[in-house]
């Protein structure tokens, strides 16, 4: 018998589901014991039904595993959800009600006042919402949400600045990879030789999610961070890696040199430093004038690190900077696995 925690992946055949498999096969704490998929793939071996998008072939550990319907009768009680938005809105509460722990990448419950919107480097204490969630909704299980992949790309440097100097406003422009649209993604004739200055719902997520993530937990509630965000999301012809260009007005004045030193010396919270997925360096400052770049920096820290550069004084606000993360790893599957590791460390998921 394995001593690892059995886990399942909802919508395991999609692009994010495949990233979950890539990250969880061989994980020291978790073992995949259930995969779900659509009517097309349910009842078939995973390796036969999946359109595998990553290098090589589906891992042998899951290739012969039979894909199951996405219904709350799965054996593992911990589930990583790569469900599309509409299905997540309908199905994830049913799983939580039936006693499952759902770590979701979908958006419907991110701003729910009872659901932790979690990035362990930013707000590990927000998991304290879980008991309130179970009580409020009468669930035996619970939901924890990942942030949107574009929010993820810029929120850690925002939180570092907010905790040190305070932030009054932030103006954000994102240059987002086509993989963020899922498979098959953006039509080639729309994106080649082009930039699409609209991603449905993305501006609103960038303007609200950072305020919850950087908010303060107190007495069973999250007090939203008081700063305001103005955002413009753009789709660009890059496969992976969301790059954010950010200008912030600080509550206390700080020079670019002070911010650079802050970024270079920042350390993640003690509780997450020894988690299995944590890279040696999770927040990287690049001094080069032309960094960060998607192709050069998205895979830093096995795709889990933030890479920040271009810190300068801003003539309109106070400080401007660039920040990038890998959108389907840190911004999706790998980030969710790190959430689960934190929840094990905190005792919410039992080993």
Query: Which residues belong to the active site?
Result: 149, 242
The SS3 call for residue 64 is: coil
Q: How far apart are CA 59 and CA 29, in angstroms?
A: 18
**Contact 151/157 with Cβ under 8 angstroms?**
no
Q: CA-CA distance, 211 to 111, in Å (whole number)?
A: 10
- SS3 category, 321: strand
Report how far residue 326's alpha carbon sits from residue 149's, in angstroms, rounded to the nearest whole number: 8
3-state SS assignment for residue 103: strand
List CB contacts of 108: < 8 A, sequence separation 6 or more: 85, 88, 89, 92
Question: What are the φ and ψ backbone dihedral angles of 281, each rounded to 5 degrees?
Answer: -125, 115
| Cβ-contact 100, 72 below 8 angstroms | yes
Residue 190 half-sphere exposure toward CB, CA atoms < 13 A: 12
Residues 6+ positions from 60 with CB-CB distance below 8 Å? none
Tokens of 298: 């998205």
Q: Which residue matches tokens 């960038």?
A: 206
Tokens for 237?
A: 């012809």
The residues with which 232 forms a beta bridge, in sequence order, are 173
> Is 71 in contact with 42 (CB distance < 8 Å)?
no
Contact in structure between 82 and 98 (CB atoms under 8 Å): no
- ω into 292 cis (within 30 of 0): yes
């Amino acid at each position: 018998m394995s001593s690892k925690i059995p886990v399942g992946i909802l919508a395991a055949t999609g692009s994010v589901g495949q990233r979950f498999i890539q990250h969880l096969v061989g994980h020291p704490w978790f073992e995949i014991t259930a995969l779900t998929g659509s009517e097309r793939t349910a009842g078939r071996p995973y390796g036969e039904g999946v359109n595998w998008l990553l290098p090589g072939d589906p891992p042998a550990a899951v290739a012969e595993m039979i894909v199951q319907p996405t219904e709350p009768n799965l054996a593992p009680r911990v589930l990583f959800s790569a469900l599309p938005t509409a299905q997540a809105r309908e199905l994830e509460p049913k799983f939580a009600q039936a006693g499952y722990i759902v770590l979701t990448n979908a958006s419907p419950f991110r701003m729910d006042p009872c659901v932790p919107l979690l990035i362990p480097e930013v707000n590990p204490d927000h998991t304290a919402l879980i008991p309130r969630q179970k009580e409020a909704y009468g669930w035996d299980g619970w939901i924890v949400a990942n942030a949107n992949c574009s929010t993820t790309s810029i929120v850690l440097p925002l939180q570092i600045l907010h905790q040190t100097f305070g932030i009054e406003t932030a103006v954000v422009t994102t240059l987002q990879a086509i993989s963020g649209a899922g498979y098959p993604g953006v039509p080639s004739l729309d994106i080649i030789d082009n930039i699409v200055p609209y991603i449905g719902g993305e501006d609103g997520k960038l303007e609200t999610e950072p305020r919850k993530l950087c908010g303060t937990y107190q007495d069973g509630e999250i007090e939203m961070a008081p700063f305001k965000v103005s955002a413009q999301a753009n789709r660009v012809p890059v496969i992976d890696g969301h790059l954010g260009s950010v200008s912030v007005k600080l509550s206390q004045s700080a020079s670019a040199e002070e911010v650079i030193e802050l970024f270079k010396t920042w350390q993640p919270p003690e509780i997450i430093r020894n988690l299995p997925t944590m890279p040696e360096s999770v927040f990287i400052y690049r001094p080069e004038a032309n960094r960060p770049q998607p192709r050069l920096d998205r895979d830093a820290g096995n795709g889990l690190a933030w890479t920040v550069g271009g810190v300068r004084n801003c003539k309109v606000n106070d400080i401007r900077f660039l920040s990038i993360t890998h959108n389907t790893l840190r911004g999706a599957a790998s980030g969710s696995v790190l959430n689960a590791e934190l929840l094990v460390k905190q005792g919410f998921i039992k080993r």
